[in-house]
Amino acid sequence: KIRITLNANNENVNEENHRICQLQNERQNLIETILYQDSVDKLLQNWQDIIKKMAREAIPKKIGIQWLSNWSSYLKICLNNYQCSGIWYQDFLAATNSNNSSITRLVAYLLLYRVIIFTFRRTTISNDFPDHFSADHHLTPKKIIVLEPEEASKFSYVVG
């Protein structure tokens, strides 16, 4: 038989309880910071401005048959590079005066993800792009183009 001393077990339980308490306090402080500091609102607006700028700069100089495909591919690359760079996370740490932790990084990433989704909602896209980039919704196509699965996957975030 294996004998486990009760003191060792109590010590482990106390350590886990202390760790859980610390994580709860960290989470509460982070939520209060996000909700009540103006610097976080300014940061989210800054992220959105950066993403809009990326979208505008990703528009090809020559708009041809596959300009939307080229635009979406290049924009996806730009967004991935921005997410991988970690600049947004450093800005988040500075705006919230937080310590580097896995919870803080996860919350910051989820906020960035929501800003990206919010930026490309239909209601905001139509206001941000010039009229010559938007389609007339009264026009009906003469021919419906069916894309190959590889090509169609590039437009999955546009269609929904």
127: pLDDT strictly greater than 80: no
Query: If you compute the radius of gyration of the chain from its CA atoms, what whole number of angstroms results?
Result: 23
Domain total of the chain: 1
Asked, for residue 96, whether it belongs to a domain, the answer is yes
Mean pLDDT of the chain: 78
Asked, for residue 135, whether it belongs to a domain, the answer is no
125: pLDDT strictly greater than 60: no
Asked, for residue 81, whether it belongs to a domain, the answer is yes
Mean pLDDT within 31-41: 81
Asked, for residue 26, whether it belongs to a domain, the answer is no
pLDDT band at 39 (very low <50, low <70, confident <90, very high): confident
144: pLDDT strictly greater than 90: no
Q: How far apart are CA 159 and CA 122, in angstroms?
A: 10
**Tokens (6 digits) for 10:** 């109590």
The domain of 118 spans 37-129
Asked, for residue 138, whether it belongs to a domain, the answer is no
pLDDT of residue 156: 64
CB atoms within 10 A of CB 29: 15
Asked, for residue 5, whether it belongs to a domain, the answer is no
Provide φ and ψ at 105, rounded to 5°.
Answer: -65, -40
pLDDT band at 124 (very low <50, low <70, confident <90, very high): very low
CB atoms within 10 A of CB 106: 10
Per-residue pLDDT of 51-110, as tens digits, reads 999 998 888 887 777 888 888 888 999 999 998 888 899 998 888 888 788 888 888 898
Q: How far apart are CA 144 and CA 24, in angstroms?
A: 54
What burial class does residue 99 get, using C-beta atoms within 10 Å of its C-beta: 0-12 exposed, 13-18 middle, 19+ buried?
A: exposed
Asked, for residue 150, whether it belongs to a domain, the answer is no
**What's this model's pTM, rounded to 2 decimal places?**
0.59
Asked, for residue 107, whether it belongs to a domain, the answer is yes
153: pLDDT strictly greater than 50: yes
